[in-house]
Chain A
Amino acid sequence: MAQLFELPRRAVETTATAVTTPFRPFLPDHTVDEWGRDDHLVRVLWPLARLRWNVSVGGLDHLPARVGALLVTNERRFSFSPLYVAGALSSATGRPVRFVGRGDHAPFGAALRRVGALLDNPTEVHGALRHGELVVMATAATTHPRHAGTVDHELVGAAVTAGVAVIPVASMSSPFNRTARAEVGPPVRLRKKRRGPLAEIELAEATQRHLQRILDELGGVQTGVVAIDWLGEG
């Protein structure tokens, strides 16, 4: 004869509630989306990120309201511009904004996925763009804050095949204070329509040029102290 043991359900639930209660405000059980981004975590962390970057955002009217777009931002080395640009645009638009460039090793890759990072893979980016997501990618990192590096044409190709706009976002931050800027430019359009792979190569080059133009218009960091401004340039 078999003996049936019943799970002491109430005891388990009481224990689980006691164990998890202190963490519940930080660990809601329903906030992760289909790409692994945790909206609650982003909302919790963004005020902390603002202690480092106080980002002023311009040109939001250039962003599409519902469909996806590839946002290309410049990056000074170690400035983490995709992170703060994605956070600032997400906060300003109310839409989840993802960014390219997470590793695939725990715990850092997993943590970055929770704040909206995608793999640096054209297929992954294409999938996100096709489903109407806003994705931020960085140019190649430079040492100068007002120089736009080269744009990866393979990632731009993901936007071309997904049929979404490529939009330059000039970003600027200072290593010495919280001031940061993200200026969204108009979508980049090619004068000549291409059917083949030249489309993404030319679009990537045009995006770099547009980005450089916006950065030139923005000027450098102005703190009022010439020496610091000069240091900030490097």
Chain B
Amino acid sequence: MGGELGSLVASLLEREPWVGALSGIDVDPPRRRLRRAEFHRIEPSNRERIVDVVTAFDPHVLIHLAVWEPDARAGTAHAKQFTSDATTAMLGAAAECPSLESIVVRSGIEIYGRNRHSLTRPDETVAPDPTSEYGRMVERIETIAEAVAQRIGVAVGALRLAPVLGPHVPSPLGRLLRQPVVPFSILADPPFAVVEDADAARAFVAAAHRRLTQPINVVAPGAVTGLQAIMRGKRVPLPLVGPEWTIARRLSHVVGAPIPEHVMELLHRGRLADGNRAAEVLGVSPARSTPEVVDRLFAWESVVRITKPQAPASVEVVA
């Protein structure tokens, strides 16, 4: 609930008439003003406290969003550790809740992997075959959630999100694309799709409401290639062929935009998925297309200056 996506989901859930009490756990405080939700600031490694809070609350629906994308808020090793800790604690605690009916977990289309001859646009029926650390992380979350759900007899659904971009969303892809000079693979320049955080949040609310029982891809319609995204953002494209990517990655890390394995994979092998089932299963589909999301990425202000408010010249009193 502390991350941008978690806060967004919580604020949308607060407006839903079918939602009674709402409780959230995160290591960071919420980024939005929440009126009804109760927030607990707990480290993902503090399993005992997480179990206490979750079992005391005894939810009907558990939405597990605690996924640390590598190089978004933490490096790959830390991201893996935090995600693993949070998954074990949250899903383990969920299994102890007698009223639980449904679990919805966050996953990613990185789960399909981009091996040679892997499908251009996999749908939900394609078996997971992750080829990046992030893909393996989300695969593990889905596996654990399914095992827990089977054991206690509740529904489990996974939302496989395309790379999430949006204002304030920490994303290694978004950060890289906003650099003044952006590398791209001149030999491949494959297409990829993304999804906006608001659309992803709506999908989670719908999944919780409908008690989702299967994995669903959440992907904005349309696609762009790396070069097209760079040109839309009026950045300087840097064509790379192969070995110089190592140097480019190091340089990018130094200037504050590390390029993790799954983003490298996206830039070299593309990342598309078939998101058509979301509309029929969830009843919602992403409102913004991939090119629109990319355009909005470049439209954000780099620095928002908050000026000191001017004192009013006169004070009016209305009775």
Mark A residues whose CB is within 8 Å of B: 4, 6-9, 12-13, 15-17, 19-20, 24, 27-36, 104-107, 110, 113, 118-119, 121, 123-124, 127, 131
Contact = CB atoms under 8 A, between A and B. Distances in A.
B120 A106 contact: no
Contact of B191 (A12, A36, A121): A36
Interface in B256-308: 268, 270, 272, 274, 276, 291, 302-303
B168 interface: no
Given A16-B235, A20-B237, A34-B193, A124 B270 contact: no
Contact of A123 (B126, B302, B303): B126
A86 B47 CA distance: 58
A110 B272 CA distance: 14
8 contacts: A12-B180, A16-B236, A24-B231, A29-B291, A33-B222, A35-B272, A118-B120, A119-B119
B228 A29 contact: yes
Interface stretch (B48-56, B169-177, B182-190): B182-190
A30 B294 CA distance: 11
Interface of B: 116-123, 126, 180, 185, 187-191, 193, 221-225, 227-232, 234-237, 268, 270, 272, 274, 276, 291, 302-303
**Closest 10 pairs (CB-CB, A-B):** A106-B188, A106-B187, A12-B180, A107-B187, A13-B234, A110-B188, A29-B228, A29-B231, A36-B191, A16-B236
Contacts of A16: 230-231, 234-237
Given A31-B228, A127-B122, 13 more contacts: A12-B235, A20-B231, A27-B227, A30-B291, A33-B223, A34-B191, A35-B120, A35-B272, A36-B190, A106-B185, A118-B120, A121-B119, A124-B120
A27 B119 contact: no
A14 to B, nearest CB: 9
A113 B228 contact: no
B121 A127 contact: yes
Contacts of A17: 234
A91 to B, nearest CB: 23
B221 to A, nearest CB: 7
A163 B319 CA distance: 71
B117 A121 contact: yes
B116 A104 contact: yes
B302 A7 contact: yes
A6 B302 contact: yes
A19 B268 CA distance: 22
Contacts of A106: 185, 187-188, 268
A4 B117 contact: no
B236 A12 contact: yes
Contacts of A33: 222-223
A4 B268 CA distance: 33
Contact of A7 (B180, B223, B225, B229): B180
Contact of B236 (A15, A27, A124): A15
Contacts of B274: 127, 131
- Majority-rule SS of A interface residues: loop
Contacts of A123: 119, 126
A36 B224 contact: no
A29 B224 contact: yes
Nearest to B242: A106
B109 to A, nearest CB: 13
A31 B232 CA distance: 12
A186 B118 CA distance: 33
A132 to B, nearest CB: 11
A35 B236 contact: no
A123 B118 CA distance: 10
A185 to B, nearest CB: 28
B225 to A, nearest CB: 6
A17 B180 CA distance: 12
Nearest to A33: B223
A107 B188 contact: yes
Contacts of B276: 131
**Interface-central residue, B120, B227, B268, B303, by most chain A CB under 10 Å:** B120
A31 to B, nearest CB: 8
Given A7-B180, A7-B302, A36 B223 contact: yes
Given A7-B302, A113-B190, A127-B123, A34 B234 contact: no
A155 to B, nearest CB: 14
Given A16-B236, A17-B234, A106-B187, A32 B120 contact: no
Given A107-B188, A110-B187, A110-B189, A34 B236 contact: no
A62 B123 CA distance: 30
A30 B122 CA distance: 22
Contacts of A124: 119-121
Contacts of B227: 27
Given A12-B236, A36-B190, A104 B302 contact: no
A27 B186 CA distance: 12
